[in-house]
Structure 1
Amino acid sequence: MSYQGYLIGILGFGLISGMFSPIILPQATAAIVLLAPGLLISSPSVVIFLSYLLGSTLTIMIAGIPAALYERVTGSAESTPTSLWIWLACTALMALPAVIAFLQVGGF
Protein backbone atom coordinates (compact mmCIF):
# COMPACT_ATOMS: atom_id res chain seq x y z
CA MET A 1 0.00 0.00 0.00
CA SER A 2 1.30 3.45 -0.84
CA TYR A 3 1.67 6.15 1.75
CA GLN A 4 -1.36 7.93 0.31
CA GLY A 5 -3.60 4.99 1.21
CA TYR A 6 -2.48 5.11 4.82
CA LEU A 7 -2.96 8.85 5.01
CA ILE A 8 -6.43 8.68 3.44
CA GLY A 9 -7.43 6.10 6.06
CA ILE A 10 -5.95 8.18 8.89
CA LEU A 11 -7.73 11.32 7.69
CA GLY A 12 -11.00 9.45 7.17
CA PHE A 13 -11.00 8.00 10.67
CA GLY A 14 -9.99 11.39 12.06
CA LEU A 15 -12.88 13.05 10.25
CA ILE A 16 -15.38 10.50 11.54
CA SER A 17 -14.04 10.86 15.06
CA GLY A 18 -14.13 14.65 14.94
CA MET A 19 -17.71 14.76 13.71
CA PHE A 20 -19.45 12.01 15.66
CA SER A 21 -17.40 11.21 18.76
CA PRO A 22 -19.47 11.49 21.93
CA ILE A 23 -16.22 11.85 23.87
CA ILE A 24 -14.31 14.47 21.88
CA LEU A 25 -17.07 16.62 20.37
CA PRO A 26 -18.46 18.18 23.61
CA GLN A 27 -14.98 19.14 24.80
CA ALA A 28 -14.01 20.56 21.41
CA THR A 29 -17.20 22.61 21.28
CA ALA A 30 -16.59 23.94 24.78
CA ALA A 31 -13.01 24.84 23.87
CA ILE A 32 -14.16 26.76 20.79
CA VAL A 33 -16.82 28.62 22.80
CA LEU A 34 -14.27 29.56 25.47
CA LEU A 35 -11.47 30.49 23.07
CA ALA A 36 -13.55 32.43 20.55
CA PRO A 37 -16.67 33.86 22.21
CA GLY A 38 -17.17 36.39 19.39
CA LEU A 39 -17.97 33.59 16.96
CA LEU A 40 -21.21 32.80 18.78
CA ILE A 41 -22.64 36.16 17.78
CA SER A 42 -21.72 35.75 14.12
CA SER A 43 -22.89 32.22 13.36
CA PRO A 44 -23.42 28.99 15.28
CA SER A 45 -22.50 27.01 12.17
CA VAL A 46 -18.99 28.47 12.34
CA VAL A 47 -18.67 27.23 15.93
CA ILE A 48 -19.85 23.76 14.93
CA PHE A 49 -17.46 23.64 11.97
CA LEU A 50 -14.51 24.73 14.10
CA SER A 51 -15.36 22.17 16.80
CA TYR A 52 -15.44 19.40 14.15
CA LEU A 53 -12.11 20.62 12.84
CA LEU A 54 -10.58 20.77 16.32
CA GLY A 55 -11.86 17.30 17.21
CA SER A 56 -10.49 15.81 14.00
CA THR A 57 -7.12 17.48 14.47
CA LEU A 58 -6.84 16.33 18.08
CA THR A 59 -7.69 12.76 17.08
CA ILE A 60 -5.00 12.68 14.41
CA MET A 61 -2.41 14.29 16.69
CA ILE A 62 -3.06 12.03 19.68
CA ALA A 63 -3.15 8.90 17.51
CA GLY A 64 0.20 9.86 16.01
CA ILE A 65 2.02 9.75 19.34
CA PRO A 66 2.53 5.93 19.44
CA ALA A 67 3.76 5.97 15.83
CA ALA A 68 6.20 8.77 16.63
CA LEU A 69 7.47 6.86 19.65
CA TYR A 70 7.96 3.77 17.46
CA GLU A 71 9.95 5.82 14.93
CA ARG A 72 12.03 7.30 17.73
CA VAL A 73 12.82 3.88 19.23
CA THR A 74 13.74 2.33 15.89
CA GLY A 75 15.73 5.39 14.81
CA SER A 76 13.85 5.89 11.55
CA ALA A 77 14.52 9.15 9.75
CA GLU A 78 11.16 9.02 7.96
CA SER A 79 7.85 7.22 8.22
CA THR A 80 7.82 3.52 7.46
CA PRO A 81 4.82 1.33 6.59
CA THR A 82 4.93 -0.09 10.12
CA SER A 83 4.69 3.32 11.75
CA LEU A 84 1.87 4.29 9.41
CA TRP A 85 0.03 1.08 10.34
CA ILE A 86 0.45 2.00 14.02
CA TRP A 87 -0.89 5.48 13.34
CA LEU A 88 -3.84 4.10 11.34
CA ALA A 89 -4.68 1.52 14.02
CA CYS A 90 -4.58 4.12 16.81
CA THR A 91 -6.77 6.48 14.80
CA ALA A 92 -9.24 3.65 14.15
CA LEU A 93 -9.34 2.82 17.88
CA MET A 94 -9.98 6.45 18.74
CA ALA A 95 -12.75 6.61 16.12
CA LEU A 96 -14.48 3.49 17.43
CA PRO A 97 -16.86 5.35 19.81
CA ALA A 98 -17.76 7.71 16.95
CA VAL A 99 -18.52 4.81 14.60
CA ILE A 100 -20.66 3.16 17.26
CA ALA A 101 -22.51 6.43 17.92
CA PHE A 102 -22.94 7.02 14.19
CA LEU A 103 -24.38 3.58 13.63
CA GLN A 104 -26.37 3.85 16.88
CA VAL A 105 -25.34 0.34 17.87
CA GLY A 106 -24.09 0.99 21.40
CA GLY A 107 -25.51 2.65 24.45
CA PHE A 108 -24.34 6.14 23.44
Structure 2
Amino acid sequence: MSAPVQPYIFAILAIAAVNGIFSPFVLPAAILVAPFLPAFFAQSVGVLFFATSLLVSTGTIMLAGVPAALYERFSGASTTTEVSLWIWLAGTALLSIPAVTRFFEVGF
Protein backbone atom coordinates (compact mmCIF):
# COMPACT_ATOMS: atom_id res chain seq x y z
CA MET A 1 0.00 0.00 0.00
CA SER A 2 1.48 3.33 -0.99
CA ALA A 3 1.62 6.34 1.28
CA PRO A 4 -0.46 9.47 0.68
CA VAL A 5 2.04 11.69 -1.08
CA GLN A 6 0.24 15.04 -1.18
CA PRO A 7 0.58 16.16 2.46
CA TYR A 8 4.30 15.47 2.38
CA ILE A 9 4.81 17.21 -0.96
CA PHE A 10 2.93 20.31 0.21
CA ALA A 11 5.03 20.46 3.38
CA ILE A 12 8.25 19.98 1.40
CA LEU A 13 7.27 22.73 -1.04
CA ALA A 14 6.25 25.12 1.74
CA ILE A 15 9.51 24.68 3.62
CA ALA A 16 11.52 24.99 0.40
CA ALA A 17 9.64 28.18 -0.54
CA VAL A 18 10.49 29.72 2.83
CA ASN A 19 14.08 28.65 2.27
CA GLY A 20 14.11 30.23 -1.18
CA ILE A 21 12.88 33.56 0.12
CA PHE A 22 14.72 33.88 3.44
CA SER A 23 17.89 31.88 2.82
CA PRO A 24 21.20 33.60 3.55
CA PHE A 25 22.39 32.12 0.24
CA VAL A 26 20.00 34.20 -1.89
CA LEU A 27 22.39 37.14 -2.32
CA PRO A 28 25.42 35.02 -3.31
CA ALA A 29 23.19 33.01 -5.64
CA ALA A 30 21.83 36.25 -7.17
CA ILE A 31 25.36 37.31 -8.01
CA LEU A 32 25.88 33.98 -9.78
CA VAL A 33 22.48 34.00 -11.54
CA ALA A 34 22.61 37.58 -12.87
CA PRO A 35 24.96 36.90 -15.81
CA PHE A 36 22.74 34.06 -17.05
CA LEU A 37 19.50 36.06 -17.21
CA PRO A 38 18.52 37.72 -20.47
CA ALA A 39 19.28 41.44 -20.68
CA PHE A 40 15.68 42.58 -20.20
CA PHE A 41 15.40 40.54 -16.97
CA ALA A 42 18.72 41.74 -15.59
CA GLN A 43 17.46 45.33 -15.42
CA SER A 44 14.79 44.41 -12.87
CA VAL A 45 16.07 43.63 -9.38
CA GLY A 46 12.72 42.10 -8.45
CA VAL A 47 12.87 39.58 -11.28
CA LEU A 48 16.48 38.78 -10.39
CA PHE A 49 15.61 37.98 -6.78
CA PHE A 50 12.48 36.07 -7.83
CA ALA A 51 14.53 33.88 -10.18
CA THR A 52 17.17 33.43 -7.50
CA SER A 53 14.54 32.48 -4.94
CA LEU A 54 13.16 29.86 -7.32
CA LEU A 55 16.67 28.55 -7.93
CA VAL A 56 17.45 28.24 -4.21
CA SER A 57 14.14 26.56 -3.40
CA THR A 58 14.47 24.13 -6.32
CA GLY A 59 18.01 23.31 -5.27
CA THR A 60 16.79 22.66 -1.74
CA ILE A 61 14.16 20.21 -2.98
CA MET A 62 16.66 18.42 -5.21
CA LEU A 63 19.41 18.20 -2.60
CA ALA A 64 17.03 17.07 0.14
CA GLY A 65 15.69 14.33 -2.11
CA VAL A 66 19.07 12.62 -2.45
CA PRO A 67 19.01 10.81 0.93
CA ALA A 68 15.43 9.70 0.29
CA ALA A 69 16.38 8.36 -3.14
CA LEU A 70 19.36 6.53 -1.66
CA TYR A 71 17.10 5.01 0.99
CA GLU A 72 14.66 3.81 -1.66
CA ARG A 73 17.51 2.39 -3.71
CA PHE A 74 19.16 0.49 -0.86
CA SER A 75 15.92 -0.72 0.70
CA GLY A 76 14.74 -2.11 -2.63
CA ALA A 77 11.41 -0.28 -2.56
CA SER A 78 9.65 -0.29 -5.91
CA THR A 79 7.47 2.72 -5.06
CA THR A 80 7.78 5.69 -2.74
CA THR A 81 7.23 4.74 0.87
CA GLU A 82 6.18 6.88 3.79
CA VAL A 83 9.66 6.52 5.29
CA SER A 84 11.30 7.97 2.19
CA LEU A 85 8.86 10.90 2.23
CA TRP A 86 9.74 11.55 5.88
CA ILE A 87 13.45 11.44 4.98
CA TRP A 88 12.83 13.94 2.17
CA LEU A 89 10.85 16.21 4.49
CA ALA A 90 13.52 15.99 7.19
CA GLY A 91 16.25 16.77 4.66
CA THR A 92 14.33 19.82 3.46
CA ALA A 93 13.82 20.99 7.04
CA LEU A 94 17.50 20.54 7.90
CA LEU A 95 18.64 22.46 4.83
CA SER A 96 16.16 25.23 5.67
CA ILE A 97 17.15 25.82 9.30
CA PRO A 98 19.05 29.09 8.58
CA ALA A 99 16.17 30.42 6.48
CA VAL A 100 13.50 29.43 8.99
CA THR A 101 15.34 31.24 11.79
CA ARG A 102 15.53 34.35 9.58
CA PHE A 103 11.83 33.91 8.73
CA PHE A 104 10.86 34.06 12.40
CA GLU A 105 13.19 37.02 13.03
CA VAL A 106 11.88 39.08 10.12
CA GLY A 107 8.27 37.94 10.27
CA PHE A 108 5.66 37.31 7.66
The correspondence of residues 7-86 of structure 1 with structure 2, limited to 5 A, is 7-22=9-24, 24-36=25-37, 38=39, 39-41=41-43, 43-86=44-87
> What is the TM-score of this pair, normalised by structure 1?
0.87
Distance apart, 1:28 and its partner CA: 2.2
Instruction: After TM superposition, give the deviation of residue 44 of structure 1 in Å.
Output: 1.7
CA gap of 1:75–1:27, structure 2 versus 1, over 3 A, is farther
Deviations 1:16-73 (A, max 9, x none): 1111011x212321222121261222x2211111011001000000000000000110
Aligned positions, number: 103
TM-score by length of 2: 0.87
The DSSP-based 3-state class of the residue aligned with 2:77 is: coil
Larger CA deviation: 57-66 vs 75-84: 75-84
SS in 2 for 1:104: helix
Structure 2 unmatched runs, 5+: none
Structure 1 moving runs of 4+ over 2 Å:
none
Match of 2:7 in 1: 5
What are structure 1's unaligned runs of at least 5 residues?
Answer: none
Cα distance in structure 1, aligned partners of 2:58 and 2:85: 17
Identity of aligned residues (%): 45
Shift of 1:5: 0.4
RMSD: 1.6
